């Protein structure tokens, strides 16, 4: 977990939210805290096992970590992915 940082984007690999895109909002010893700005806002982040996340290292959320900004960052990333397909 040394190369994982707050603000990076991550995709869920396991669980009922498989395929969901999140922004990393915190890191604890055992879990990574992620938010999508909707179901899991910044004040109530989802706790994910690090093995169940794929970190997107070439994308970061810059600036304040409010729900609106996180939703916008995720939407822009998803649009970028769709465009490249």
pLDDT digits (tens, 9 = 90+) for 9-67: 999 999 999 999 999 999 999 999 999 999 999 999 999 999 999 999 777 777 777 89
Residue 1 has pLDDT above 80, yes or no: no
Within 8 A by CB and 6+ apart from 34, the residues are: 10, 12, 22, 23, 24, 25, 40, 45, 46, 48, 53
Selected residue with higher pLDDT from 84 and 51? 51
pTM, two decimal places? 0.88
Please tell me the predicted confidence (pLDDT) of residue 27: 94
Residue 77: helix, strand or coil by DSSP? helix
Q: Which domains does the chain have, with CATH numbers?
A: 8-84 (2.30.30)
């Amino acid at each position: 977990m040394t190369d994982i940082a707050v603000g990076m984007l991550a995709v869920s690999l396991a669980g009922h939210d498989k395929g969901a895109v999140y922004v990393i909002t915190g890191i604890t010893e055992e879990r990574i805290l992620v938010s999508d700005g909707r179901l899991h806002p910044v004040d109530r982040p989802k706790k994910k096992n690090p093995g169940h996340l794929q970190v997107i290292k070439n994308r970061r959320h810059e600036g304040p970590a409010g729900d609106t900004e996180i939703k916008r960052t995720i939407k822009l990333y998803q649009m970028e992915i769709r465009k490249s397909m």
